[in-house]
Chain A
Amino acid sequence: MSLWSRISNAVQGERLNREIDEELQSHVEEAIASGRDPREAHHAFGSTLRAREASHSVRVAGWLESLLADVRFGWRQLCRNKVTSVAAVLSLALGIGSCVAAFRLIDALLWRPLPISNSGDLYVLSHKETGFDGKPLEDDHWATPDFNLMRDAVKDQADLIAISEAERTDITWSTDDDVEKAHVAYVSGNMFPLFGLEPELGRLLVTADDRAPGAAPYAVLSWDYWNHRFGRDPRVLGRPLHVGDQNFQIIGVGPRDFTGVEKGTVSDIFLPLSMNRAVTEESMPWHRIFLMVKPGVNPATALEPLRQHLSAVNRAFGSACSTCFRGETQADINRYLNQKLVLSPAGAGISALQKEYRRLLVVLGLLAGLVLLIACVNVGNMMTAQAAARSQEMALRISIGAGRRRLVQLILSQSALLALLASVLGALFAAWSAPFVLSLINPPDNPARLALSADWRVLLFGFGLIVLIVLLLGLLPALRASAVRPVVALKGGEDPYSPRRLMRGAIALQVAFCFLTLFLSSLFVVSFQRLQNRPLGFSTDRLLLLETVAGKGQSSVVWSQTAEALRAAPGVDSVAISGWPLLGRIRINSDVSINGAPPSPTPAFFLNVSPGWFSTMKIPLVSGRDLRPEDASPGAVIVNETFVKTYFPGQDPIGHTFARGTNQPLNTIVGVTRDVPDHDLREPNLAVFYVPINEVDDKSAPKTVDFATFVIHTDTRNPLALADSLRQLIAQRHNGLRVSNVTTQLDLVRDQTIRERLIAMLAAFFAAVALLLAGIGLYAVLNYSVLQRRREIGIRMAMGSPRASIVRVVTLDVFVMIALGGCTGVALGFGAARYVQSLFYQVKATDADMIALPTCAILLTALVATFPAVLRALRTDPTEILRAE
């Protein structure tokens, strides 16, 4: 109560003074009314001013009042230099907003714990081994029988939980025609209880749901999915759900915040692990394994023994597994058996997105931080210049008794005012930019989803940032200003060089930061350009892709007939079929065995295609012929040039044969095509062979095809315009074929470069801002320095110094600082580039043009920024200066 009244009195200081005066006045009047002589009454009362001051200081919070006075004064200072203040606030806001946005993304994807109990005790199990290409490989997918063995082996110290990735799956709620997509995750029944999760509705999956394969046809919806798909309708319980040919029943809805353990993907539907057909497959790694130590077990000591125990069980499983290594060489089997198990903390979730974007986000944070630092240096310089201009005022304040603490407070409150204004704008910028950047991650039809809540973590970060900025901006000028020696300053003879020395140091710092930003940005932009301009070797123009599934499989004849029907549709030029699209997400390797020899250590990759696929994709044949309708697999194959180089170096491969593993039927090479990137634009071309879409088994009976992609060359510029009518056309044939996904070849190519495009775009943005800010900073410092040295310049001119030497005097030290900053920037750049090397494509930090590009940009900016100041220096009129001084 009392503190509050003192605070409110401080805010309303003037009103308080009026009230005190009124009370004192009424006292004297009372005295006169009671018959005392007016003069005597006034005299007896003494100084009203002193009484008022004494009362005033009792009734207000003094510190607050002086603070308010300082803030008001600071505000007036800011208003006096409107343009610079607005520029300062805007540049700081951009820096703060970018930093907060980067923090929100990094925190949401990498740091924020999952909304489960004991998230700190959660670990994920992965295995490290040497891949077939000799590179180290870490993978966290496991086969269920292996999981079962490991779970039982460690059940006294820890619980193992199996959770599959949330796969975007075709599901049906009512009739077969209404197929929709949902992210479906298979989880072991112990997940919900161990995570301490309570149902919002109905019940969740329990351990009993794991008891036998196929025995628990129950589904749990995530709260998020329940909300946006069913509008939180409680009648959803008991509804049937069809996934593939399985039927499930909705038994419950999960808690509000829980969207699975996969950061970046929201799981819509949870199904019991036991309902996936892969649970009995020994050789099918398909889900992750999480480990949660039991309460009372200390992870620090228990983890390593657990890991060794799991390792032994896993190795025993591998050795005993009869189906795991069928047809593999002993070396491959040993490679697998010698894998090393790793337990890593998973309290913040685990996802491919984290792996893929970790470095990118760190770079983003770094760039945002650099821009903020550059902005801080700019504003700091501005304040140093202003403080220098106010040194006489400061001297006066000290002379009449202002304490040093009070002066520091005076200047710090001005920088706090700047920082606060900027942080309000910055918060708005962050609120917009973080979701915007998030929406650019992943293809538009399957966007990354993260909870970007603005909670205490973000607030704390923002507050810390503001404190840091206030100190960065204000402390140095404040200490300098408060150290003013009044006698010297009032005489006007303070060392004129010291603020300039400080500002020159700041220039070097700024150039270093700017160089680093530009350097990294140009690496990213050039990477993106080279990746995008990589020759594809096939045409993406007007190609529509219909990814089609046949629930129970269909013969290749039916697929060919459907292709024939599509060919007859209006607007369609040509139609071909491939197992999956080029640069899609699928790639399957195959052994290659030549002349009955054991499979070669380097595998090749294959793709099933129909006749005419090469001409539809516009992939040229180098020699030989295309596949024919009567060709079947095994039989005729077409190989690419890398395949020839790898397996038949220096030979004409046409007519040669190979088998897909030992004791497999032979394939005859009938043609050779040019290399095309088949899976990943970033990778070099690999050995690929193309086999006919119609496959036959050992007894020459045709095999059925479960899924394939119709590749349709249309005659419209926008192939997607035909998608609906062609999808209808397929559905109307009622032959079990159903379009599951529609895309274009162009989009698939674009999706390949999403990450590179994103980082290049953001880096270019930050580089432009950094360059602009550095230019402004340089201009301001030089301008200030010329203004301050106009006496010296005037004297030099009067003594006949040539213009060239005036220019040198003015600019020399600045360019020395630029050179110094540039060198520091190169060193920093090399260090940073090494960390993000994995994000580059065909560029190296040491490339000469990668260093030349930012150097030229900075020099050009420096020239433009110094020009006005140099002009001002040259226009100095010596007579005027000398007269004025």
Chain B
Amino acid sequence: MPKTDALQGSLDLLVLKILSRRPQLHGYAIMAAIANTSGEVLRAEEGSLYPALHRMEEAGWIRAEWIKKDTGRRARIYELTAAGKKQLGMEESRWQSVSLAINRVLREA
């Protein structure tokens, strides 16, 4: 099975979902979580993850803060905001309806 980055438009949904389950992750951990939970099928392209995170931060869905890691370096960790929870709900239901529609097409066409 080829590793797909066909996350077209669903990267936001995945990031929000991950953050809703496990708050306070840094970028690499979010990427790793997407890969792990999808059984290594979905892979966010590492370079495009950060602009997406920053865009969602500007939109107010997620909130970031710097923490000090054990190594002495700083890491930027993210968590969901109230607006982000609402957005997640909307994205989830949109995804549900789209995938339902696609399934129906696959079944009946």
Contacts and interface: CB of A to CB of B under 8 A. Distances in A.
A133 interface: no
Given A20-B50, A29-B73, A50-B47, A6 B26 contact: no
Contact of B59 (A2, A19, A30, A48): A2
B73 A34 contact: no
Contacts of A55: 50-51, 54
B76 interface: yes
A27 B28 contact: yes
A27 B59 contact: no
B37 interface: no
A27 B47 CA distance: 10
Contacts of B69: 26
Contacts of A59: 54, 57-58
A215 interface: no
A1 B60 contact: yes
Contacts of B51: 51, 54-55, 58
Nearest to B76: A23
Nearest to A51: B47
Contacts of B58: 2, 5-6, 58-59
Query: Majority SS of interface residues in chain A?
Result: helix
A17 B79 CA distance: 22
A58 B56 CA distance: 9
A47 B26 contact: no
Contact of A24 (B29, B50, B55, B59): B50
Interface in B1-60: 26-29, 32, 45-48, 50-51, 54-55, 57-60
A412 B24 CA distance: 46
A44 interface: yes
B74 interface: yes
B47 A26 contact: no
Contacts of B32: 34
A525 B60 CA distance: 68
A50 B48 CA distance: 9
Query: Majority SS of interface residues in chain B?
Result: helix
A23 B49 CA distance: 12
Contacts of B27: 23, 26-27, 30
Contacts of A47: 47
Contacts of A22: 74, 76
Nearest to A44: B46
Given A34-B32, A47-B47, A26 B76 contact: yes
A24 B60 CA distance: 21
A2 B54 contact: no
A802 interface: no
Contacts of A46: 45-47
B51 to A, nearest CB: 4
A396 interface: no
A6 B59 CA distance: 11
Interface string A1-33: 110011000000000000110111011011100
Nearest to A57: B51
A432 interface: no
B106 to A, nearest CB: 32
A497 interface: no
Interface string A259-294: 000000000000000000000000000000000000
Interface string A32-51: 00100000000011111011
A234 to B, nearest CB: 55
Interface string B73-102: 111100000000000000000000000000
B46 A30 contact: no
A26 B73 contact: yes
B71 to A, nearest CB: 8
Contacts of A29: 73
A760 B29 CA distance: 81
Given A26-B73, A26-B76, A45 B60 contact: no
A29 B69 CA distance: 12
Contacts of B46: 27, 31, 44-46
A30 B73 CA distance: 11
A31 B73 CA distance: 14
A51 B48 contact: yes
A50 B74 CA distance: 22
Nearest to B57: A59
Contacts of A19: 76
11 contacts: A1-B60, A2-B58, A20-B54, A26-B74, A27-B46, A31-B46, A34-B32, A47-B47, A50-B47, A55-B50, A58-B51
Interface of B: 26-29, 32, 45-48, 50-51, 54-55, 57-60, 69, 73-76
Interface of A: 1-2, 5-6, 19-20, 22-24, 26-27, 29-31, 34, 44-48, 50-51, 54-55, 58-59
Top 7 closest pairs, chain A to chain B, by CB: A46-B47, A30-B28, A54-B51, A55-B54, A45-B46, A58-B55, A23-B76
Given A30-B26, A50-B47, A55-B51, 5 more contacts: A1-B60, A26-B69, A27-B28, A54-B48, A54-B50
